[in-house]
Structure 1
Amino acid sequence: MSVLSALPERYRLILCDLWGCVHDGYRLLPGAVERLGQWREEGRVVLFVTNAPRSAATVRRQLGSLGLPDTLYRGVVTAGEVGLAALLGRPVGFCGTLDDRADLEAGGLRVAKGSFIELACAGLDRGEKVADYQDRLRGWRSRDVLLHCLNPDRVVIHGPERMVCAGALADAYEALGGRVCWYGKPFETTYVHALELADNPPKDAVLAIGDGWHTDMAGAARLGIDAVFVEGGIHAGEPAPAFDNGWRPLAVVPLLA
């Protein structure tokens, strides 16, 4: 029986990742709906915390299209929305798909028509690689552009495909000496927002669940909360990294099921 079947009663808030835990971009993963339903019946609150560079409303619609009832969770916190809040009110450059841009502009992002000193980076176009951006990266660096990374994931599993994300582009920019402001997991601003949505419960009442060592687990370690690692996701087969102060996940499971 999975440790998720009989969690200690003290875990009243569950901060759950989406990609690799609840869905793979195309379908809900086996057992996810049943597990979320169990936690609802037990009176626990579930917040989805995702590094998606989109608005919470867009992610909610995606979950609905995949067949996930919105009664199974309290809300959604996205890296894109946290980053957008920091960028409102001034024009910035933009890097990402047309869909990313439309979604963020609907939330109030102002995209500069000409030169810019800040850049909102939501990701790469499908099929592109970091190497395709080398000239642009060098150009931004020469102007000391501040890159706001709205998705710190380096790759994501989209069905059978591994897709490069904005975090990989931000890494390359930092390697050139560029300045990057990061949003999403494992960074504190995202967790502050999530805990506020849940009325700031004590940390020993919070459990994080995710499939990312350097995002979900590192964020839980920084925050000082317990976590469960889902090993069937993006880091399948990889060894666990070392965390400060000897922190380790409470348990390792193959799936939410």
Structure 2
Amino acid sequence: MSELDALPERYRLILCDLWGCVHDGYRLLPGAENRLRRWANEGRTVLFVTNAPRSSATIEEQLDRLGLASSLYAGVVSAGEVGITALSGRTVGFCGTEPDRADLGSRGLCFIDRGFDELACAGLAPGETVADYDERLAEWRSDEVLLHCLNPDRVVVHGAERMVCAGALADAYEEMGGRVCWYGKPHEATYEHALWMAGSPPKNEVLAVGDGLSTDMLGAGRFGIDAVFVSGGVHAGEPFPHDWAKRHGLAEWRPILAVERL
């Protein structure tokens, strides 16, 4: 038995994180598909809200490859998709992997390698660290480049490997005085878009589910919706911090549940 089996009926819309909750980049996590099926059978709508820097269509294709039935969710809201909308029609630099560049380019984004004053940052190559970008960060700062962060996650667990994400690079850029435009969780526009996709239900009928304190939990708390903290994801079993809400100016807010996994 899981405490998730007794979710109040009023939660009709579930905004569920993907990485660390539903899959680990390679496979579906134990119990995730059954939980999604149970929510569907209970008449709840599930929207996946992810900080992945890819288009929603590409993420849906990944879920299909992992074997997740499309009938178990209503759609995907990704940081990459929000960024695609914002940067459409503009010529920008790019930072990230070749697959990310190809995906975003296929959706109409136009990239140049030099002479840009805006940059789409989708992430780092596997094995790279923020320190590897020190010279490039200094160059972008000198040129007053506006960095668009298409994945605000700082780290993700890929299988058993922890990988640095674009959010860590954007943090370093802000610390040196660079300008950053953020997309994805915990930023309000992502939640507004998700509720719009679901027909604009009242917030007391919405439940966020995620494993990130600085993304999923902070986003839910700031947006004023309830949440479930999945402790077995990126925070590797750590309990929800007792002083977390106070540190973030969220009064007495805390998740309604903390579970190890779905």
Shorter chain as denominator, the TM-score bin is: over 0.9
Q: Which runs of 4+ in 1 moved over 6 A?
A: none
| Residue 201 of structure 2 is aligned to residue 201 of structure 1 | yes
Instruction: Look up the match of 1:26.
Output: 26
Q: TM-score, normalised on structure 2?
A: 0.96
Q: Aligned match of 2:252 in 235, 246, 250?
A: 246
Structure 1 residue 194, shift from structure 2 partner: 0.6
Instruction: Look up the match of 2:141.
Output: 141
Partner of 1:126: helix, strand, or coil?
A: coil
Measure, in 1, the Cα distance between the counterparts of 2:2 and 2:223. Answer: 25
Structure 1 residue 2, shift from structure 2 partner: 1.5
Instruction: Look up the match of 1:189.
Output: 189
Structure 1 residue 114, shift from structure 2 partner: 3.2
Q: Which moved more, 1:233-242 or 1:160-169?
A: 233-242
Measure, in 2, the Cα distance between the counterparts of 1:225 and 1:247. Answer: 10
Computed over aligned residues only, the root mean square deviation of the Cα atoms, in angstroms, reads: 0.9
Measure, in 1, the Cα distance between the counterparts of 2:10 and 2:95. Answer: 42
What does 1:41-190 align with in structure 2 at a 5 Å threshold?
A: 41-190=41-190
Q: Residue deviations 1:167-188, cap 9 Å, x none?
A: 0000110111100010000001
Identical pairs, percent: 70
Structure 1 residue 85, shift from structure 2 partner: 0.8
2:94–2:113 Cα contact (<8 Å) kept? no
Q: Which runs of 5+ in 2 are unaligned?
A: none
Structure 1 residue 113, shift from structure 2 partner: 4.7
- Closer, same or farther in 2 for the Cα pair 1:236/1:113, shift >3 Å? closer
Partner of 1:245: helix, strand, or coil?
A: coil
Partner of 2:4: helix, strand, or coil?
A: helix
Q: How many residues align?
A: 256
Q: Residue deviations 1:48-90, cap 9 Å, x none?
A: 0000000001000111111100000000000011011111111
Measure, in 1, the Cα distance between the counterparts of 2:151 and 2:226. Answer: 23
Measure, in 2, the Cα distance between the counterparts of 1:161 and 1:121. Answer: 21
Q: Aligned letter for 1:127?
A: G
2:121–2:147 Cα contact (<8 Å) kept? yes
Measure, in 1, the Cα distance between the counterparts of 2:17 and 2:37. Answer: 16
Q: Aligned letter for 1:54?
A: R
Q: Aligned letter for 1:248?
A: R
Measure, in 2, the Cα distance between the counterparts of 1:216 and 1:247. Answer: 13
Measure, in 2, the Cα distance between the counterparts of 1:113 and 1:66. Answer: 34
